[in-house]
Chains A and B, each alone.
Chain A
Amino acid sequence: MTLPWNLYLPIAGNSVNILLVFGMGGIVGLLSGIFGVGGGFLMTPLLIMIGIPPTVAAASDSNQIVGASTSGTIAHFRIGNVDIKMGLLLLVGGVIGGTIGVQLIKVLRALGNADFLISVTYVLVLGFIGTYMFQESLQALRNKPQRLSPRPKSKPSKYALLVQKLPWQMMFEKSGGKLSILMPLFLGSVVGVLAAIMGVGGGFIMVPVMVYLLRMPMHVVVGTSLFQILFTCANVTIMQARTNHTVDFVLALVLLVGSSLGAQFGAKLNKNLKADQLKILLASLVLLMMVKMLFDLLLPPDIKLAYMGGH
């Protein structure tokens, strides 16, 4: 608390300790490099905790993620973990979905109780994804010795059969499979809609979608997710700067120096972790986040007023 360096943030309207913000960036960048998520779920509340207004925290964080995900994408690209073709298709889907999502929120708000619906959906989606991933990777870790024999050979599911029948099949070398381009476009849109409605980057939903529905190898998933997040967050940053003036560049810069360093170490750690270990860690993180959201909703707030624009 008595660290000496302070920096004034002109948009946030507060001063912060450089080392503290740098450290926060480092930790979140590390997670981002390991798991291929933007880390907004962790960073935004941390920033609010040190006195940054919520809207500025969220917008500056997306600016920061641009830096961290660039750094992370390069690190993963070098290891051969980025499927650019898949990433671009997901991105196109994401943009379409995001646009639909923004319109959908307006309709939901007009119907009333939208915020309630959004929060409950969010908690349920996270709970479902987290539990599923956790169970699945736990099983895989337990079955490890005889891993090569029974499990993958089971008969193809209805889902797999359906996916094979779709038109416009394309070879995705990095992801190691043939797939209809409709799949990433459609799933990208779904994640885009969810992300827009919930007001999050979507990495947490995108990663499981790539793993389970696009059947991509875990390591490629992380690199590709980062590649895609880079563009999503660049878009959000410019939009926020243009319409709400909530991007604090000083804050973003200090954060991103920390997080792009963290992302490099994260990518190295990612390489040393096995896919199932990664999955189970990510699942724990998703569940942790769900529990936190649930607590936020259930516990009576200390002060029963908030500035408009927050949350």
Chain B
Amino acid sequence: MNRKYLVIITALVGILVQTGIVRANDPILFKVSPEAIGIGAFYDGTTLSIKGVLPSDCEAVIRIMGEQSTIKMKRKEKVFGILWMNRTSLTFESVPSAFLLATSRKFDDLLETRKDAAPVWQLGLPALSHRTVIKPETPDRDFLLKEFLRLKEKEGLYAETTGIRYAMDSGVQKNFEANPAISPKFPPGKYVIEVYAVKHGDIVAKGEQPLVVKLEGFPSLLADMAFNHGTIYGILATLIAVIAGLFTGLIFGRSKGAH
């Protein structure tokens, strides 16, 4: 089913490129491969390939976002003026599990002179943190949001890149292509890939596709055990550890005896 759909889109993209009928306001058609990401035992992240067509006078902005959730955090503060410790509890509401933005040049350049008044600004990380709700409310909101973004960026979960390349510009339309790297830290779940055509800080057209990241094979089996049969999992993990320890102990004992 899915493959058939992909073939049709690919063909359509091809036809559109050939006939040069991509116009503003048409939804942007693009192709993503792989369509779904399976996390197997040796998974170490992956690279997506995103290809499509957009009007020549537009820039492409690709955004990949994970599911939104509420995250519980602790703020590190000084206690008695000397020691740094995790103190105040805070919740950050409606934050995506992962956020990846790809453009062809610096995101801020696409805003041109309109800065954060440009509709395109809404697509970026600053707008995302602007929408984030922190509870309880705090006067240090801006500082905390900045720290939050830094933490997520350090973990490789939030990123802005400039990896979009253009080709075959006919004067009416051009091909775009990007290969965003998906970190192994991107959690399993549903993602949305959005492609925007932007011009002078305005959003001209948009296209959207889902992306599923899911555990497969051994990792899937293990996670299922750990989350749904915790006690048995714990006992098994302990037993296997004991057996492995015994085994090493015995092997060493024997080899010592032989020498």
Q: Which residues of A contact B (CB under 8 A)?
A: 5-8, 10-11, 13-15, 51, 63-64, 66-75, 78, 113, 115-116, 119-120, 230, 234, 237-243, 245, 247-250, 252-253, 256-257, 260-261, 263-264, 296-301, 303-311
Q: List 21 A-B contacts (CB under 8 A).
A: A7-B41, A8-B41, A8-B184, A10-B39, A11-B222, A66-B242, A69-B245, A75-B249, A115-B79, A115-B85, A115-B86, A115-B87, A239-B234, A243-B230, A253-B240, A297-B82, A303-B151, A305-B76, A307-B71, A307-B72, A311-B74
Contact with A along B73-85 (1 / 0, CB 8 A): 1111101101111
Excluding A6-B43, A63-B237, 7 further A-B contacts by CB distance (< 8 Å) are A70-B249, A119-B83, A256-B245, A263-B248, A301-B76, A301-B84, A305-B74
Cβ contacts under 8 Å, B210 to chain A = none
Contact B42 A8 (CB under 8 A): yes
Find the B residue at minimum CB distance from A244.
B230
B129 CB → nearest A CB, Å = 12
Q: Are B185 and A13 in contact (CB under 8 A)?
A: yes
Quick one: given A6-B42, A245-B227, A298-B82, are A14 and B242 in contact (CB under 8 Å)? no
- Separation of A247 and B237 alpha carbons in the complex (Å): 8
A231 CB → nearest B CB, Å: 10
The dominant DSSP class at the A interface is helix
User: What is the CA–CA distance of A263 and B226 in the complex, to the nearest angstrom?
Assistant: 28
**Smallest distance from the beta carbon of B69 to chain A beta carbons, Å?**
12
Q: Is B244 an interface residue (CB 8 A)?
A: yes
Decide if B166 is an interface residue (CB 8 Å cutoff): no
Contact among B43, B84, B87, B236 for A298, CB-based, below 8 A: B84
Per-position binary interface string of chain B over residues 149-173, scored 1 when its CB falls under 8 Å from any chain A CB and 0 otherwise: 0110011000000000000000000
What chain A residues lie within 8 Å of B231 (beta carbons)?
A: 238, 241-242
Q: B246 in the interface, Cβ–Cβ < 8 Å? A: yes
Give, as a whole number of angstroms, the nearest-CB distance from A308 to chain B: 4
Contact B83 A241 (CB under 8 A): no
Choose one: A11, A242, A260, A297; the contact of B244 (CB below 8 Å). Answer: A260
> Do B85 and A119 have beta carbons less than 8 Å apart?
yes
- Count how many pairs of residues, one from A and one from B, have CB atoms less than 8 Å apart in the complex: 195
Residues of the B chain whose Cβ atoms lie less than 8 Å from the Cβ of A308: 72-74, 89
A71 vs B243: C-alpha distance when bound (angstroms): 9
**Quick check: B252 and A75 within 8 Å, CB to CB?**
yes
Contact between B84 and A300 (Cβ–Cβ < 8 Å)? Answer: yes
Is B178 in contact with chain A by the CB < 8 A criterion? no
Partner of B222, one of A10, A238, A303: A10
Q: Flag B49-79 by CB within 8 Å of A: 1 or 0 each.
A: 0000000000000000000000111111101
Docked complex Cα distance between A296 and B86 (Å): 12
User: Which 9 A-B residue pairs are closest in the complex by CB-CB distance?
Assistant: A70-B245, A241-B234, A74-B249, A10-B219, A67-B241, A238-B234, A6-B44, A15-B184, A66-B241
- The smallest C-beta distance from A298 to any residue of chain B, in angstroms, reads 7
- A8 touching B40 by the CB < 8 A rule? yes
Are A116 and B79 neighbours in the complex by a CB distance under 8 Å?
A: yes
Most buried by A among B76, B89, B245: B245
User: In this complex, what residue of A is CB-closest to B92?
Assistant: A305
Q: Is B45 an interface residue (CB 8 A)?
A: yes
Instruction: Give CA–CA (A231, B147) in the complex, Å.
Output: 41
Contact of B151 among A237, A298, A305 (CB under 8 A): A305
Whether the pair A306, B86 counts as a contact (CB closer than 8 A) is: yes
In angstroms, how far is the closest chain A Cβ from the Cβ of B222? 5
Q: Measured between C-beta atoms, what is the minimum distance from B45 to chain A in Å?
A: 7
Q: Counting CB contacts under 8 A, is B250 at the interface?
A: yes
B240 vs chain A, min Cβ distance (A): 7
Q: Once the chains bind, are B244 and A67 in contact (CB under 8 Å)?
A: yes
Complex Cα distance A73/B79, Å? 42
User: Do residues A303 and B235 form an inter-chain contact, with CB atoms below 8 A?
Assistant: no
Chain A residues within an 8 Å CB radius of B71: 307
Report the nearest B residue to A257, measured CB to CB.
B244
* Residues on A with beta carbons closer than 8 Å to the beta carbon of B241: 63-64, 66-67, 70, 234, 237, 252-253, 256
Structural contact, A237 and B237, CB atoms closer than 8 A: yes
Closest residue of A by beta carbon distance from B150: A303
Q: How far is the CA of A118 from the CA of B150 in the complex (A)?
A: 29
- Confirm or deny: B203 has a beta carbon within 8 angstroms of a beta carbon on chain A: no
CB contact under 8 A between A66 and B151, given known A10-B219, A10-B223, A245-B230:
no
Measured CB to CB, the closest approach of chain A to B242, in angstroms, equals: 5
Q: A113 contacts which chain B residues (CB < 8 A)?
A: 79
Tell whether B132 is near chain A: CB-to-CB under 8 Å.
no
The reply to whether B245 and A66 form a contact with Cβ atoms under 8 Å apart is yes
> Which of A5, A10, A75, A253 has the largest number of chain B CB atoms within 10 A?
A10
A257-B234 Cα distance, complex, nearest whole Å:
18
Q: Which residue of the partner chain A has the closest CB to B144?
A: A305
* Residues in B whose Cβ lies below 8 Å from that of A14: 184-185
